[in-house]
Amino acid sequence: MTRRRLAALVTLAALAIGGIGIVFAIGLPNLGRVPASGSVTAVGAPEARTGVDDFRFASFDAIYQLDRDVEARSTLHTTEHLVAVFPDIDQNRGIRRAIPAVYDGHSTQLDVVSVSDADGTPRPYTSERDGDFLVLTIAVPEGQYVHGEQHYVIEYTERDVTRYFSDTGVDEFYRDVNGTGWAQPFGEVSARLELAPAVAAAATGDASCYQGAEGSTARCSIDREGTGFVAHARDLGPRQNMTIAVAFREGTFVAPPFDLFALFPPFLIAGLGVILATIIAAVVYRIFGLRAAEGRGTIVAWYEPPENVTVPLAANLLGVPQRAFTASILDLAVRGKVRLLHDPAADAYGIRLLDRTGVSPDERHMVSRLFWSGSRVSPEVSDGLVKPDLDIRWFEPRERALGLIAASVRKHADALALSAGLRRKPSARPVGSWCSGCSSVSRCLW
């Protein structure tokens, strides 16, 4: 296998690997993706899978404690209290709660502190990352079921949960409380925002509350209470959410640094990295590995005949003597010995002898015959060449003299080949003969 083919195969393989990484990065996070920010699904019995969403939430209460760290970046401690009401039949084992782990293109460094019931008794749960969400599966063991009113208290911490909005010129705490991914209705949703003293001093007093489906502008109540705010919404249907927004003076919170891994999944970064590295490696290999040897540039083909081998002689040796005449005229024109002529008025073609020096004997033979035979003027020949003032030969249509000249050129080239020892006459002696004394079926060689 050549180096070029090997390099091409390696490049294609690397591009394929990178492409697979990108497909996985784009495709895998979307498999089973929970819609919208913060959603929940039910964990039900296998035989009752079609009805696992047939329950409701009596309430969803969230307490947010907003503060700043030593870098003036926002921190948040959240406690969610969900009260679910399940049917009395063996249908559900629990719930799945999807908590956003990415905000405004960066990680919130989400950390789950505890999951318990209303009395503080820990509830078993598992967690897994699904795209921009951390999904908590809170369920009793298989074979067991939950019935009636169940309390789920989820406590977690986050960082960098605020953002500067250029259209309003303020920092904002903008939060979807329960999210739009629920398939169940809510009797009541509430949120209490508790502000640390330094943060409370920077609050502008502007606060908003919205409720309904995604994009809804329907208002809900939000009131100042002490140093914080309290918001309420009632009778939210499936896929409906409550959102709160509280404003702070610009510069209250420091924006987080750029987080590449929050914007792009690791598979995508790895795939793009492989493709980029492959392109760089291919370019480097092409420049240094496949470059021409030192001193070699563009090769221009240039063919020269062997020394003392003219066109007529070469045609003779190659077995194409019929091409010698025309090829010799073109060769003389290329070398500047003759010039090709055309008379448009008479539609005639001819040649002019320009230089009589540096021609070989067989070329001299052709030139002397060409300019002596059938010339329109009486030539004066000196040393076998036409004088400069008698150097034009016009070709007549169906001119018999040209055929005789061409035959003479071929015959002269044949004689030169024999005299130079480049060709020899065949032997006149027979190759084989019938010999006396041999049987009639025997053949003797001399």
- What DSSP string runs through 389-419? GG-EEEEPTT-HHHHHHHHHHHHHHHHHHHH
Q: Evaluate whether residue 427 is within a structural domain.
A: no
Name residue 242's amino acid: M
Number of residues written out for the chain: 446
Distance CA 167, CA 76 (A): 24
Q: What is the pLDDT of residue 171?
A: 95
Q: What value, to the nearest 5°, has the Cα angle with vertex 214 and ends 210 and 220? A: 15
Q: Evaluate whether residue 429 is within a structural domain.
A: no
Task: Report yes or no on whether pTM surpasses 0.85.
Answer: no
Q: Evaluate whether residue 446 is within a structural domain.
A: no
The partner residues of 297 in beta bridges, in order of sequence, read none
Name residue 10's amino acid: V
Q: What is the pLDDT of residue 31?
A: 39
Distance CA 93, CA 42 (A): 8
Q: What value, to the nearest 5°, has the Cα angle with vertex 370 and ends 365 and 371? A: 105
Q: Are 76 and 112 in a shared domain? A: yes
Task: Please state whether beta strands 39-44 and 92-100 pair in parallel, antiparallel, or not at all (unpaired).
Answer: antiparallel
DSSP per residue, 48-68: GGGGTT--EEEEEEEEEEEEE
Q: What is the pLDDT of residue 18?
A: 58
Q: Evaluate whether residue 305 is within a structural domain.
A: no
Q: What is the pLDDT of residue 244?
A: 96
Q: Are 377 and 248 in a shared domain? A: no
CA dist list (Å): 47 to 32, 54, 89, 134: 21, 14, 12, 27
Task: Please state whether beta strands 56-68 and 186-195 pair in parallel, antiparallel, or not at all (unpaired).
Answer: parallel
DSSP per residue, 235-263: EE-TT-EEEEEEEE-TTSSPPPPP-HHHH
Q: Are 203 and 71 in a shared domain? A: yes
- 264-302 pLDDT per residue, tens: 566 666 777 777 887 887 777 767 766 666 665 666 666
C-beta separation of 353 from 335 below 8 A: no
Which residues 6+ apart lie within 8 Å of 219 measured at CB? 208, 209, 210, 211
Q: Evaluate whether residue 293 is within a structural domain.
A: no
Q: Are 24 and 41 in a shared domain? A: no
> How does DSSP classify residue 307?
T
Which residues of the chain are under the pLDDT cut of 50? 27-40, 45-49, 374-381, 386, 388-389, 432-446
- From 105, 108, 199, 120, select the one nearest 155 (Cα to Cα): 120
Q: Are 66 and 10 in a shared domain? A: no
The partner residues of 267 in beta bridges, in order of sequence, read none
Name residue 381's amino acid: V
C-beta separation of 260 from 269 below 8 A: yes
Q: Are 165 and 99 in a shared domain? A: yes
Q: Are 320 and 373 in a shared domain? A: yes
Phi, psi for residue 315 in degrees, rounded to 5: -60, -35
E strand or H helix that includes residue 445: strand 444-445
In the block, residue with structure tokens 């406690």? 79
Q: Are 72 and 162 in a shared domain? A: yes
- From 166, 171, 165, 167, select the one nearest 199 (Cα to Cα): 171
Q: What is the pLDDT of residue 446?
A: 33
Distance CA 300, CA 47 (A): 81
Last residue of a domain, one of 257, 280, 298: 257
User: How is the beta sheet containing 241-248 ordered, strand by strand?
Assistant: 163-165, 170-176, 241-248, 203-212
Q: Are 243 and 269 in a shared domain? A: no
Q: Are 360 and 283 in a shared domain? A: no
Q: Are 381 and 337 in a shared domain? A: yes
Q: Evaluate whether residue 415 is within a structural domain.
A: yes
Q: Evaluate whether residue 424 is within a structural domain.
A: no
- 133-153 pLDDT per residue, tens: 999 999 999 999 999 999 999
Kindly report the number of other CB atoms within 10 A of residue 112's CB atom: 14
Number of domain units in the chain? 3
Q: Evaluate whether residue 132 is within a structural domain.
A: yes
- From 278, 274, 276, 275, select the one nearest 8 (Cα to Cα): 278
Distance CA 236, CA 251 (A): 35
Q: Are 270 and 242 in a shared domain? A: no
Residue 180 lies in domain: 35-257
Q: What is the pLDDT of residue 318?
A: 83
Q: Which two tokens stand for residue 103?
A: 């905000």
